[in-house]
Amino acid sequence: MNKVFPNPIMLAIDTSSLDDAKSLIVKLKDCVGGIKLGMEFFNSFGPSGIKVLKEFDIPIFLDLKLHDIPATVYKTITTLLTLEPAIINVHASGGKEMMMAAAKALKDSGNKTTKIIAVTILTSLDDDDLCKLGFSEPSKDLVLKLAKLAQESGLDGVVCSAQEISLIRENINNDFMLVVPGIRLKEDNIDDQKRIMTPKKAISLGADLLVIGRPITKAKDQILASKKILEQLK
């Protein structure tokens, strides 16, 4: 795929067990392009836990979804960049000034490798959920608006559902990174995801990275599940 991510699969490691995280990496390192670590892991082990996993020499996506005032986000990004993750994300709904502060933190750090991206709309939400939250726009329109705002703010890409890949690609250049969760094989349980798609379809539409967790981590044979997904991407 590229020199940072050997393939598009970002393995979601959602655990509060450091041993479980290490075990998954040892088993699946050669089958995935990187790992995604969220709040469950980070709140359990903090930066020291990230440093332990970095020893496995695998790209790390810090999925912390930062959402705060611009000054706080600037300082937080500055601190997180010392860990040299491949990707850090913020919430686009934090606004343009907040996202610009995140981009400035990256620029000021001198880091040339980490990408900062914005979460648009969580894939656990659909139009009905958004309506209950007070949004009148369809999810696709809102995602595109937030994606454009992220680009204008100087960020490197967005997290979006597979349903919005084509729309974003039609309106924003191909250098803009699209990280897509909610990926399921046809035979998988959709769990709490509502806006989903198969890996092959998502890549064909223009996704750069696919965040995949339970279809691999909950599989009886995790290596086989990973290889099955990679085979479908060929």
**Active-site amino acid positions:** 65
The Cα–Cα gap between 3 and 167 comes to 27
Contact predicate 136/158, CB 8 Å: no
Q: Which residues contact 12 (CB under 8 A, 6 or more apart)?
A: 35, 36, 38, 63, 181, 211, 212, 213, 214, 217
Name the region of 214 (left: φ>0; alpha: ψ -120 to 50; beta: rest): alpha
Nearest to 214 by CA among 194, 177, 184, 186: 184
**What are the DSSP E strand ranges found in the chain?**
9-13, 34-37, 60-66, 87-91, 115-119, 157-159, 177-180, 209-212
